[in-house]
Amino acid sequence: MPLKSFTASTARPLPVLILADTSGSMSAEGKIDALNVALVDMVDAFSEEGDGRAQIHVGVVTFGGTASEHLPLDAASGVSLQPLPASGMTPMGAAFDIVRGIVEDKDQISSRAYTPAIVLVSDGQPNDAWEPALQRLLGSERAKKAQRFALGIGEDADAGVLRRFLDDPEGKVYAANDARDIKSFFRWVTMSVTTRSRSATPDASVVADFPPTDLDELL
Amino acid sequence: MISFGASVAGPGHLRDGLPNQDAWAHAALGGGRVVVVADGLGSKPNAAVGSAAACDAVAEAVRIWLRHQGASRDVLLGLIHLLWRARVEPLSPDSAATTCLFAFMRADGSGLLGQLGDGLVLVLCDGHVRPHQLRSDDDFTNRTRALGVTRQLAGWNVAVLEPGERTVILCTDGVSDDLLESKHLEFAEWMNGEIASLPPGPRWRRLAHELRHWPTPHHIDDKTIALLRSQE
């Protein structure tokens, strides 16, 4: 009997979950268009990663009007990302609960998976019960170990909420003022994830060393 | 009793011109046998030294421990740490950090299992298999437990083997991370039957071949498997 009868037929996944603000305000000043372009570039870059020890998986949860799973978590190489529309309010708390459910679901993220990365992008303030939802996320045995990134878009972004999401005194909330900044942020996230994927220890957090502007330095 | 194993460098180390940082060893001791596998932590510069030292340290520690009737398991674990430390000096312990999995078994099947860090210990007994330590589903990594890193004996997972015919299989994480949990029994039976039944030379070549031609895509890690059985 060959050994492959007992072994996994796919590489260990490295899950990347995008938590994207798709509220109505994101439609202003081309923000949602820039986010869509940046996400497609990121997924394309992940799908071309063939040398790493991990297979990068991508999922997108949106919160605009309602929170929903826009793109179920799957291998980046097989993903077809549809453009995110922007409308409605900012139910970030509901999105936190969806992400927590995905991370805790061992059918979606198996015990073989490397530590997931969660990327939060928002241009405003949440308008639902986000605090208990964030506490549930950060209290989850699996989710609290995730590598986390946060991007605030524009002047109305709530840096305090984003900082609490990071839950790391050394973590940085990054700022984007235009489409170029959004693209830079996602290029940085892409570099950080692919560096992990190629490293000898993908479970160790790696942050690429050319971060975009730190929001803390601007405020 | 029977014991055997094989260890091969993973594609990642072959590509980078680095040595295999896993090690394994087996030895006959005091009417029983000991088998050890160790995985030098990939980010450490002296990982290969550390894993080889772990194998030697466990064999010597068990030998000393068996001479002292009544000595506790903590004494054995403490000896492993001290003898490993003696072998890696003057290197810093952290630079040679390594996981350490061992099984000591007497001819009647009784004995002791120890595990510090990643990897898998499977015990096959009466047609059933049980992992010595189930991977924690809430834990994406167990990398922090290792000789050279862990300073508390509580970091070890230790279990006693009661008398009975049984087989113990030790794997480093290059193997265990890709083994399907639902296939642990079939894997253990394959090792205990198809592989164990081969003569020593062909057995080693077959096992090394299987490890070098590991079927999971994108695998990079070094890979080590060892087996210890109480009856021929």
**B180–A145 C-beta distance less than 8 A:** no
| For range A1-15, the mean pLDDT | 86
User: Strands A147-153 and A117-122: what pairing?
Assistant: parallel
Please give the residue of chain B at the shortest CA–CA distance from A115. B140
Report chain B residues touching chain A, CB-CB < 8 A.
12, 41-43, 135-141, 143, 177-181, 183-184, 186-187, 190, 194, 210, 213-221
Number of H helices, E strands in chain B: 6, 10
Residue of A nearest to B179 (CA): A7
Q: Which domains does chain B have, with CATH numbers?
A: 2-229 (3.60.40.10)
**Chain B residues touching residue A205 (CB < 8 angstroms):** none
Tell me the average pLDDT across B166-189.
Answer: 92
CA distance B74 to A35: 57
Region for residue B121 given its phi and psi (left: phi exceeds 0; alpha: psi -120 to 50; beta: otherwise): beta
**Which domain, by its residues, includes A118?**
24-218
User: Using a CB-CB distance cutoff of 8 angstroms, which residues of chain A are in contact with residue B42?
Assistant: 200-201
Chain B residue closest in CA terms to A56: B218
At A96 the pLDDT is 97
Residue A56: how many CB atoms within 10 A of its CB?
A: 28
Indicate if the pLDDT at residue B36 is higher than 50: yes
Size of interface A-B (CB pairs under 8 A): 83
CATH number at residue A54: 3.40.50.410
| Among candidates A2, A3, A141 on the partner chain, residue whose Cβ is nearest the Cβ of B138 | A141
Query: Domain for residue A14, yes or no?
Result: no
Give the count of domains, chain A: 1
Tell which phi-psi region holds residue A120, choosing left (phi > 0), alpha (psi between -120 and 50) or beta: beta
Number of CB atoms found within 10 A of residue A28's CB: 11
> What strand order describes the sheet that includes B157-161?
B22-29, B32-39, B100-106, B111-116, B157-161
In a domain, A3, yes or no: no
Radius of gyration of chain B (CA): 16
Q: Tokens for B168? A: 């113990």
User: Could you read off the pLDDT of A16-67 as tens digits, one per residue?
Assistant: 999 999 999 999 888 999 999 999 989 988 888 766 678 889 999 999 999 9
The pTM for the full model equals 0.79
In the 3-class helix/strand/coil scheme, how is A132-184 assigned residue by residue? HHHHHHHHCCCHHHCEEEEEEECCCCCHHHHHHHHCCCCCCEEEECCHHHHHH
What's the token pair of residue A33?
A: 């268009």
β-strand partners of A7: B179
pLDDT 10s digits, B78-118: 999 999 999 999 999 999 999 999 999 999 989 999 999 98
pLDDT tens for B114-151 read: 999 989 999 998 888 887 764 544 456 545 689 999 88
Tell if the CB–CB gap between A4 and B143 is shorter than 8 Å.
no
In a domain, A50, yes or no: yes
Please name the member of A6, A54, A114 whose beta carbon is closest to the beta carbon of B187.
Answer: A6
Contacts of A8 in chain B (CB under 8 A): 178-180, 216
User: Is residue A107 one of the residues assigned to a domain?
Assistant: yes
